[in-house]
Structure formats: C-alpha cells, structure tokens
Homo-oligomer: A and B are copies of this chain.
Amino acid sequence: VRAGRPYNGRRGGPVRNLKLTLAYVGTRFAGWQVQPGLDTVQGILEARLGAMLRERVRLLGAGRTDAGVHARGQVASFTTASRIPPEGLRRGLNARLPDDIRVLAVEEAPAGFHAREHALSKEYHYRIVRGEVVSPFETPFALWVYRSLDVAAMQAAAAGLRGRHDFTSFCAAGSTVRSRVRTVFESEVAEEGTFVVYRVRADGFLQHMVRTIAGTLLLAGSRRLDPGAIPAVLGAMDRRRAGPCAPPRGLFLVKVHYGEAT
C-alpha cells in the first residue's frame, strides 16, 4: 500500500464512501466493536463485506454499542473501490449476513464522510416492561420490573438531565475518555401501556451512560432517589452517586442524526 492511497483502492476505480444504516438484535453479540475471537457486529459485517467485495473493509460505526445492546438505526461508513450500486450492495450483503443483522439502507456518502465524527446527535431508547409476568416475546427487548413505578418521578428525573453537563457520575468508572461533557437535547420518559420508555438524544454518550441513566431513573421510579437530586448527582462528578447500570437488553440505538437541526 502506497502512502496517500487508500488500501482498498487497488482496482484503480474511484474510491467511493458509503453509508450503511443497520439494525441488529444485540442478544448474542459481544457488542459492535471488533474483538478477536468474539462475535461482534462490526466483525461480522467487515468479514462479509470483505468477502463480497474482495477488499479489506474497515467500518466506522457511529455508536459503539455494548454487548447485548440492540440497534434499529446504527450507521456505519466505509470506503471501497467497488462499483456495485448501493441497491446491489444492500441485497448482496443481506444475503450473506445472519438474520439478526440487517442492512436497512446503503447510500453514497460525500468523500470524507465519517459515521461517528459527523454525527450531530444519536438517539437511544431504554425500554422497561411492567407486570406480574412478562411475555417471553418481550424478555430479550425490555427490562422487566415487577414493582410499580412512579412514572412522574422518572419524568422529573429525566428532565433534570437535559442540557450541557459533565456526565462523569453516569460514566463507567474505568473509562479513560478525556472530556465527559456532553449535551443532552432530549431526555424524556413516556408511559406506553405496560411499557415505560426512556428516550434520550445527545451529541455524544459516555460508556454505559444511557444504562446508568436508566438505572438512576429506576431509583427515582421506586422512590429511592428524589428527582430533585439529579443536579447534585451531576455536580458530584462521582459514579457512586448515580444508580446501577441497567442491563443491556432494554437498550436500543434508534437513530443517528446528520445535518439536521439539533
């Protein structure tokens, strides 16, 4: 590979930048990011794309979803020298992928487009299902909560997270990220039948951030945390002040926003 030339440009055609929109059931995966010896969404996609295009493909994913987290609208970009039209790529790739990963769309992207760096915001949902018995069809896709929840308290706590804050209290203790300041554009809890759904949109997320928020909202919902204490929890910049990290099965990466008004 010569310097200044993309490694997968070897067929001499113009290098294209492509944007994939993806959905996957996270249950059996060790998360998005490639890890040697483990089934990851990125790893499977890169292997199938590589076999199909006969190139080494490197995907740039918008969100690094954890093990067990689902996606309805993950976005990933990659460059290729292939001339296969987007529609053919989508069909060919879906034919090669396992059923629990689907390519919803393939689009041409501008040169230099980077799925993560150019994302203006990402939207996650955390789903909670209540009731004496949870349907086995919902168990993999929601956190079951037996006790009753004070949804108004959860809504008040969620509202307290909106805005620009240092989210250290909601970040995995081992994280080595430099800045923990993020802007939360939307943060709301809605009751939908037996479900309680938390929706959050921000310019970026720290490791375990949505799950730690969900665990904290559940503390408020079970009246073990005053929703009015959220500013103090944020201000403490101490992971021990927030609630536990809720399990991954309730979490969905729903949408990545590019170029829209935030």
Q: Which residues of A contact B (CB under 8 A)?
A: 23-25, 70, 72, 90, 94, 99-104, 133-137, 139-141
A139 to B141, CA, bound (A): 14
The residue that A102 contacts in the complex, of B100, B103, B133, with Cβ under 8 A, is B133
Copies of this chain, how many?
Answer: 2
The minimal Cβ–Cβ distance linking A136 to chain B, given in whole angstroms, is 5
Residues of B within 8 A of A23 (CB): 135-137
Closest residue of chain B to A26, judged by CB? B136
Determine chain A's interface SS by DSSP, over half rule. mixed
Expressed in whole angstroms, the Cα–Cα distance for A125 and B104 within the complex equals 27
Question: In the complex, are the beta carbons of B133 and A103 less than 8 A apart?
Answer: yes
Q: Which residue in B90, B99, B101, B139 is a CB contact (below 8 Å) of A100? A: B139
| In the complex, chain B residues whose CB is within 8 Å of the CB of A102 | 133-136, 139
Q: Is the CB of B141 within 8 A of A137?
A: yes
A137: contacting residue among B25, B103, B134, B135, CB under 8 A: B25
Q: Nearest Cβ in chain B — how far from A124, in angstroms?
A: 16
